[in-house]
Structure 1
Amino acid sequence: MDLTRLAGHLSAAQVRSIAGAMTTPQIALWSGAVSSGKTISSLLAFLILLTRAPSHGLIVVVGRTLQTIERNLLDPLASPELFGPLAGQVHHTPGSTTAVILGRTVHLVGASDARAESRIRGSTIALAYVDEATLVPQSFWMMLVSRLRVPNAKLLATTNPDHPGHWLRQDFVLRAGEVGMKHWHFTLDDNPSLDPGYVALLKTQYTGLWYRRFILGHWIAGQGAVYDMWDPDEHVTPWDELPPMDRLLCLGVDHGTTNPTAALLLGITFDGRLYLVDEYRHEPRRDTQRLTDAQQSSRLREWMAQPHVPNGARLPVEYVAVDPAAASFRVQLHSDGLASSPANNDVSHGLSLVATLLARRQLLVSDRCAGWINEVGGYSWDEKATEKGLDAPLKVDDHSLDAGRYSLTTSEALWRPYLIDPLDLAA
């Protein structure tokens, strides 16, 4: 396979990592800053190793979901701008759990929770690739390692850093020599294809924890405010000045009986910017009335029937995503004729997602979302959880924040292709 054309566009760090992946005892890990060239380097190494993989044993590509595999890996591989004529050797039907790359069948495995372990149990794997390894359950990773039973089988993986107590760092990165791993740390300067203006923009878009993890590439614990990039002067828009919405994508609902119930409605504009446009909120203590599920359903549906964007426009709410713990409330909604889905409650991914969107000014909030606005400034990391090696916010005054997170994470596949690029925001 001729990689001369591609090699001329790689940094020294990228070339070293690709060469090192060929000789790693078993595992090769690329970690570090966002947009630092990790993915391109690892994919090139994957293609080379794919041509050398034995005919027996599966080829497996792993990500949080099939959609993230398609977006983060298959789409770049199929891009002639990135991989030249090799892109024509990538064949995949969207939604399919297999692809054909360089003539080999590649199995695509979503690993969003521990149940994914069963998808590879009993397999014999010759070559595996894991996208965003810190988001994969530890039980899945350990099962995957145990399946590398073909002689000289390799596991390639990429990740942004996480909490310093994360199992991947403690059990593998810090013990790389013992566990047959080679590890490379990447910074933004290791990606020669980035425009200097874009690098400067990225550095201004992240603050606090997210800056140290995503820009500096540090494994760092959460401290202080979760959303320290929040600026009401920058992020809050008067409801009557909202731009025209293209769609109302999702209503995220955090249901409570003794605690508040909150629902946040997510919209996207024609030019690809996200807005939390409106909020429903019932507080039993303040409103002096505890509502049954039937009463909550009635009030929520009455609120949904009202206009949620200015100028009298009425757009349908495409999805309703309810806290997955509120099963009885979902049953009530269903009996009342309102279909809903369990919300995506991956907290770590959701916090990172909201923080990134706020930092890049890709998510704005209307002043009708008073509960969300009141909660966001005081939303802080839990120091006791940090001491245990976990990233977790304090579970205090977070009902609207949870509802907003549900609306964003559950509908991510809908809005992600249309999200405006950060460079356009700065124009």
Structure 2
Amino acid sequence: MTAPLPLSEKQLGSIRQATARINLWHGSVRSGKTIASLLAFLLAVRRAPASGLIVICGRSLQTIERNIVEPLQDSALFGDVAAEVRHTRGATTATILGRVVHLIGASDARAEGRLRGLTAALAYVDEVTLLPEAFFVQLLARLSVPGARLLGTTNPDSPRHWVKVGYLDRANELDLAHWHFKLSDNPALSGAYVAALSAEYTGLWRRRMILGEWVVAEGAIYDMYDHVQHVVDELPVMRRYWVGIDYGTTNPFAAVLLGLGDDDRLYACAEWRYDSRARHRQMTDAQYSAAVRGWLDELRVEAEWTFVDPSAASYSAQLWADGHPGVARADNSVLDGIRSVSNALDAGLLYVHSSCEGLLDELPGYAWSEEAAARGEDRPIKANDHSVDALRYAVHSTANEWRHLLAVAA
């Protein structure tokens, strides 16, 4: 069985050598590790014993469908074999090379229960670092058929992550084989694509996603932020506006107006904050709604969308009731959002107006939690983060509108 795409020696070698009980492909994005692992998986399905289940595990059923099942059905990637991969969207099973394969999502620790009583001969795991450790441990315990194997892929994470400490660092003690991939290991990528992809990552994420390093998140989150470089006193003409809102009652309420200028740059144009503790008076949802509307009217701005903290359902409902246009739940993927802001700052695409005092106060001190890092987790310190969260909501929720400008700005 061969794939139409060219394969590197490292890819071919990993496919041939994936005979250990645990087989892990890790490294940078788009480095060819997933194609190699899926080819190895197809070979393993064909050779799997009749007894024992075959399972594919991932963060959710939707990510399994997007990252695994749909690529397997792509004839440009897997040739005639793609026709032997059958799946109905939303179903928890697929048929691959004539075998029934069970699709199991594992979004939290409770997912471990889905494995109880299961006996497996073969497992494929998408993005191992995103799964709960207890689920992974239980899955290994269920691979009890003689010759059972696990194949998995992941991008690097913290060097203290349980995958790194408990498995990769102990490869010599375990029946475990692993392969580290870099962008240069994928012969299917053009130089122009590699350059464009490299421009989309900066700082911590560049080291992990482009260089494939397991590095710790430490120190300032926006370490590329420079007050002299990123703060402006004058704004160009804006052609689009969006608002990000971090809702607070006892904590500060922060709204940041994000604009796209006619110079193809993003600007945090203005900010509205209310700190009930400092004012010794809380505001209701209706009062907050009226205050934000009055703030935008004073600025003579009509935002296309207002992205609200997803936990503030009652406030969003109030905005809708008051006829506020374009109310939407903000994309609150914290790490992805931080990466979007980091990329925009590093590329010289994002600037902050000097009137945004709360945001300017918070940006330099926004830092990674050392306690979380010690547990192998990437998590910001939850303090003095209200305006930076509002900025993140606006920037990340509109990433599809401005991401193409990164290469131009860099």
Q: Normalised by the size of structure 1, how large is the TM-score?
A: 0.76
1:258 aligns with 2:250: yes
1:29 aligns with 2:18: no
Take 1:78 and 1:351, find their aligned partners in 2: how far apart are those partners?
33
1:13 aligns with 2:10: yes
Q: Tell whether the 8 Å contact from 1:209 to 1:220 is kept in structure 2 after alignment.
A: yes
Structure 2 CA distance for partners of 1:4 and 1:117, relative to 1, 3 Å: closer
Matches within 5 A, 1:199-348: 199-230=194-225, 241-244=237-240, 254-263=246-255, 281-285=273-277, 288-292=279-283, 295-300=284-289, 303=292, 315=304, 320-323=308-311, 330=313, 347-348=334-335
Aligned residue number for residue 90 of structure 1: 85
The structure with more radius of gyration: 2
Take 1:103 and 1:127, find their aligned partners in 2: how far apart are those partners?
15
Matches within 5 A, 1:49-60: 49-60=44-55
CA displacement, residues 382-410 of structure 1 (integer Å, 9 cap, x when unaligned): 3454455443333332113334556778x
User: Number of residues paired by the alignment?
Assistant: 401
Q: Tell whether the 8 Å contact from 1:225 to 1:377 is kept in structure 2 after alignment.
A: yes
Aligned residue number for residue 2 of structure 2: 3
Which segment is superposed worse, 191-200 or 374-383? Answer: 374-383
1:69 aligns with 2:26: no
Match of 2:366 among 365, 368, 379: 379
Q: Tell whether the 8 Å contact from 1:252 to 1:264 is kept in structure 2 after alignment.
A: yes
Q: Tell whether the 8 Å contact from 2:72 to 2:85 is kept in structure 1 after alignment.
A: yes
Take 2:207 and 2:193, find their aligned partners in 1: how far apart are those partners?
18
Take 2:45 and 2:274, find their aligned partners in 1: how far apart are those partners?
55
Deviation, 1:215, is 2.1
Q: Tell whether the 8 Å contact from 1:280 to 1:300 is kept in structure 2 after alignment.
A: no
Q: Tell whether the 8 Å contact from 1:276 to 1:404 is kept in structure 2 after alignment.
A: yes
Q: Tell whether the 8 Å contact from 2:238 to 2:260 is kept in structure 1 after alignment.
A: no
Take 1:196 and 1:53, find their aligned partners in 2: how far apart are those partners?
38
Structure 2 CA distance for partners of 1:404 and 1:72, relative to 1, 3 Å: farther
Which segment is superposed worse, 30-39 or 57-66? Answer: 57-66
CA displacement, residues 294-313 of structure 1 (integer Å, 9 cap, x when unaligned): x14541366369869x9976
Q: Tell whether the 8 Å contact from 2:347 to 2:409 is kept in structure 1 after alignment.
A: no
Deviation, 1:107, is 2.6
The one-letter code matched in structure 2 to 1:300 is S
Q: Tell whether the 8 Å contact from 1:276 to 1:369 is kept in structure 2 after alignment.
A: no
Q: Tell whether the 8 Å contact from 2:238 to 2:259 is kept in structure 1 after alignment.
A: no
Take 1:397 and 1:390, find their aligned partners in 2: how far apart are those partners?
20
The one-letter code matched in structure 1 to 2:61 is L
Q: Tell whether the 8 Å contact from 2:251 to 2:275 is kept in structure 1 after alignment.
A: yes
Q: Tell whether the 8 Å contact from 1:77 to 1:87 is kept in structure 2 after alignment.
A: yes
Q: Tell whether the 8 Å contact from 1:237 to 1:365 is kept in structure 2 after alignment.
A: no
Deviation, 1:157, is 1.0
Aligned residue number for residue 324 of structure 2: none
Matches within 5 A, 1:125-144: 125-144=120-139
Q: Tell whether the 8 Å contact from 1:205 to 1:359 is kept in structure 2 after alignment.
A: no
The one-letter code matched in structure 1 to 2:133 is Q
Match of 2:34 among 32, 36, 39: 39
Aligned residue number for residue 402 of structure 1: 389
Deviation, 1:123, is 1.7
Unaligned runs of 5+ in 2: 322-326
Match of 2:155 among 156, 160, 167: 160
Q: Tell whether the 8 Å contact from 1:264 to 1:369 is kept in structure 2 after alignment.
A: no
Q: Tell whether the 8 Å contact from 2:200 to 2:406 is kept in structure 1 after alignment.
A: no
The one-letter code matched in structure 2 to 1:284 is S
Deviation, 1:145, is 1.1
Structure 2 CA distance for partners of 1:211 and 1:258, relative to 1, 3 Å: same
1:124 aligns with 2:113: no
Take 2:232 and 2:59, find their aligned partners in 1: how far apart are those partners?
32
Structure 2 CA distance for partners of 1:333 and 1:382, relative to 1, 3 Å: closer
The one-letter code matched in structure 1 to 2:172 is G
Q: Tell whether the 8 Å contact from 2:231 to 2:354 is kept in structure 1 after alignment.
A: no
CA RMSD of aligned residues (A): 4.2
Structure 2 CA distance for partners of 1:95 and 1:279, relative to 1, 3 Å: farther
Unaligned runs of 5+ in 1: 324-328
Q: Normalised by the size of structure 2, how large is the TM-score?
A: 0.78
Aligned residue number for residue 326 of structure 1: none
Aligned residue number for residue 193 of structure 1: 188
Take 1:103 and 1:315, find their aligned partners in 2: how far apart are those partners?
50
Deviation, 1:330, is 4.1
Deviation, 1:221, is 1.2
